Structure 1
């Protein structure tokens, strides 16, 4: 018999701690860009701010951000004592003094008002894993804890991507668990057997199951074994958050402000029609085949005019970059592009950026049409052909803390323990090291010339 869920869990699987992951999408520096491109201002991540994470787990992302923004204050909350213990151990190991992790449920938080409100907040992998009552608690926290103009990141499973795969969830919910050492073995076998019997039908379900079939039981417990796990439409998040005076600002990932590079012309035609008819976000999820959304909401963030938006983007410092070595700085966007930049344009952008340049400088070398060259430069930035850099003084201020955090992650690799990633003082956010060859090289202290060069560009010593 599986372990009984306790009353305090609200059905959440507390008998298994979720995977210790690091989230590159959670980055105040990148959020500032993405919201600006969408026409909204946000708190300046280069000035002191307060950051709140709901359901922070072992808080690896939060502690990495504290290293990258030593002028800011970070607070994480999780209701699982084991996660809080793990987080506090990493805080002690890295010596971070601007971050703390506390144990509390969202219901408990909703009854409190902080001494000082927060400018940024995040909840990754929470909304579509908890019951409706807990979602209402999250909304109450946002309404009481966030300052006017604050930004809230919410990452959640989407109905568009998950709808066809709901039978997999059903199988995991119905098939009795196996022995303690293999609790989801029977469910795995049932899914595989069902797909075999279905023959060549349901290719989307097959592809989705292929991404999950080999994941460990900790992942499956939360993603498929959670009784409240589901996928939702964007409007099902936006409507309740409106009660906290929050409005949808745009995607957290800069590239997801753009549709043209990822869709062919017939799909773009349908999207234009959907936007005109008022169902644009649902159409985007369907046409992009999204399984997960990373959205930004705000509490009254000021509008930005088009000229101010362009000026901010053009002022970004950039260096040449590419996706040939898989360090996740751009969240796998490049492989989804339908329309790639021509090699001669990339070469011109790289040559200019290598001299020390802003995004505007790079755009200007491409021709005399400002609107066209700006679009090309923005696509290069969003797709990972150029890498944005924070101002030099911010990089310098965060190098020591980032080094301490990264050394802690490397110690994990060297002892064979899981290490979710690193943090970059240059881009002010996390980096996932995905390829096993890279992880092995880092553990052995010999990353090789290509990987070492890219790590140096990211400020990772």
Structure 2
């Protein structure tokens, strides 16, 4: 392993995923949900930093969807940064800046602005204590007063049973030394875990969840496994310790960066809620909650200088917040399941709310002009919108101002992403100029979207030609299709895209307007 790695895995690339919690508009919404002031997303002077950006796909996507924000991202693996810069260039992005600096070198830079957002996904659990201290120093030095920090990390007690086993497996893997390449180390790690799990050990007997965890590992991305389990440094944190670290940077905890975890009524029993309500210390209350739910991974929002909004200020900001559906109405679940309970979505509220949101992005103020929804009242609508966001069926939006500029940049970026899908499945998200975040888009959906950019193109033929040029065929039941069967499967997938995806994508600003694509509108009629 290279000497500059400081014990971090650098010979296996990280995944090319997009992490929704990094989205500025979502962070602003979740901060408002706690009654705390967030940076003004309508401002033209915002700066955003991602520490440990991996492949840089999230930073690139967010930069595409938020041209009014300057993005800065670092990852000390130069291979990651080469790819990130190439994608930024292909997407025509000029508001994202990538560095292959260590955290210490990044802290020492004099050419960085102060930031409104500093975000880090997962990395805090995978690095040395020295690097963690450097991150705290960076936040203390570079985060503006009123700025937000998003941080996710492995958590105790959820990792308590896995950590001793991880250490044992890592020692075995390290003992193989240079005999194992990066991918081989991952395979050796999983195979050994499986063998140890079948030895009828008292350790596994005392930790019954381990067998399921190892079984789950077998189906996970091997690159993710390398970074999650094979780093020299790996430390799950108790919330109290993490909060104490960040207090040195003058940070105050805001709340979870996850709408579902804000809904204690479906995640906790009544007795558990009452017990937690009796704990005045915020950090201790969160640590206790983690033990109640056996928390394994946390996503948290912190702020430098918490400004608590009055009830009237919160109401006004809610009324001006826009929301949009990110799924077809018929595909939205009518039940939300938490850790303990499920809540059924009342048709008297959700049916008219979903009908209203199907028309396109709407502010809560606009939503409440509908008589049936006005009758439901402000508080019930806030709860309903939060539940739709928790379901992943609805997203908070950026202000309507600037959407035309955002769409121009997003179209260029999405085209660059989709063009890469001509050859391989690499990225699974598009950027939305409406939400300022990412929208799930698998490879086939991306190719169908590409056909829409070629006015009048036959979607089935277009996608079929792309696959043929790449020497690829669709699979069904694990077998490649040919001839008439291949054509029929392509037609079926195109029909599903037109019926279930295209309408939602239009509202999300991903497609040409309906007036610009009459052929497609006729197909869907």
- Please give the TM-score of this superposition, normalised by the length of structure 2: 0.78
Higher mean C-alpha deviation, range 282-291 or range 84-93:
282-291
* Alpha-carbon spacing, 1:136–1:66, altered in 2? closer, same or farther (3 Å): same
Select the structure of larger CA radius of gyration.
2
Establish whether residue 47 from structure 1 lines up as the match of residue 43 from structure 2. yes
Match of 2:255 in 1: 250
Aligned residue in 2 for 1:164: 161
Q: Structure 2: how far apart are the matches of 1:75 and 1:379?
A: 32
Output the aligned Cα RMSD. Answer: 3.0
Question: Which residue does the alignment assign to 2:403?
Answer: 395
Does the alignment pair 1:404 with 2:412? yes
Offset of residue 201 of structure 1: 6.5
Alignment of 1:169-248 (within 5 A): 169-176=166-173, 177=176, 179-180=180-181, 182-198=184-200, 202-248=207-253
Aligned to 1:122: 119
Please tell me whether residue 455 in structure 1 is matched to residue 462 in structure 2.
no
Structure 2: where are the runs of 5+ without partners? 451-462, 465-493, 512-525
| Aligned position for 2:8 | 12
Distance 1:322-1:333 versus aligned 2 partners, 3 A rule? farther
Structure 2 equivalent of residue 131 of structure 1 = 128
Give the C-alpha shift of residue 225 in structure 1. 0.8
CA separation of 1:306 and 1:122: change in aligned 2, threshold 3 A? same
Query: Is 1:22 aligned to 2:18, yes or no?
Result: yes
Deviates more, 1:118-127 or 1:168-177: 168-177
Question: Distance in 2 between the 1:334 and 1:401 partners?
Answer: 37
Query: Is 1:346 the equivalent of 2:353?
Result: no
Q: CA deviation at 1:135?
A: 0.2
Kindly state the Cα deviation for residue 274 of structure 1 after the two structures are TM-superposed.
Answer: 4.5
Q: Is the 2:63–2:96 contact (alpha carbons within 8 Å) kept by the matching residues of 1?
A: yes
* Residues 81 and 321 of structure 1, relative CA distance in 2, 3 Å threshold: closer
Contact 2:48/2:116 (8 A) holds in 1: yes
Indicate yes or no: 2:381 matched with 1:379: no
In structure 1, C-alpha distance between the alignment counterparts of 2:198 and 2:418, rounded to whole Å: 42
1:154 aligned residue:
151
The answer to whether the 8 Å contact 2:14/2:223 transfers is yes
Give the 3-state SS of the residue equivalent to 2:74 in structure 1: strand
Question: Is 1:422 matched up with 2:430?
Answer: yes
After TM superposition, give the deviation of residue 134 of structure 1 in Å: 0.4
Task: Name 1:108's counterpart in structure 2.
Answer: 105
Output the CA distance in 2 between the equivalents of 1:395 and 1:39.
Answer: 27
| Corresponding residue for residue 140 of structure 1 | 137
Counterparts of 1:289 and 1:80 in 2: how far apart (Å)?
Answer: 33
Deviation at 1:265, TM superposition (A): 2.8
CA deviations on 1:181-200 (whole Å, 9 max, x unpaired) are: 52233321222233334588
User: 1:222 deviation in Å?
Assistant: 0.7
| Structure 1 residue 47: Cα displacement | 1.3
Asked if the contact 2:75–2:100 (Cα under 8 Å) also holds between the matched residues in 1, the reply is yes
1:81 aligns with 2:78: yes
User: CA 1:408 to 1:370, structure 2 compared with 1: closer, same or farther past 3 Å?
Assistant: closer
Partner SS for 1:183: helix
Q: Deviations over 1:234-257 (max 9, x none)?
A: 222221222222221222233333
Contact 2:38 2:146 in 1 (8 A): yes
Seen in structure 2, the aligned counterparts of structure 1 residues 23 and 384 have a Cα distance that, compared at 3 Å, is closer
Question: Does structure 2 conserve the Cα–Cα contact (< 8 Å) formed by 1:425 and 1:459?
Answer: yes
Shift, 1:228, TM fit: 0.9
Residues 451/196 of structure 1: CA separation in 2 closer, same or farther (3 Å cut):
farther
**Per the alignment, in what secondary structure is the counterpart of residue 151 of structure 1?**
strand
CA contact (8 A) 1:30 1:253 kept: no
SS at match of 1:393: coil
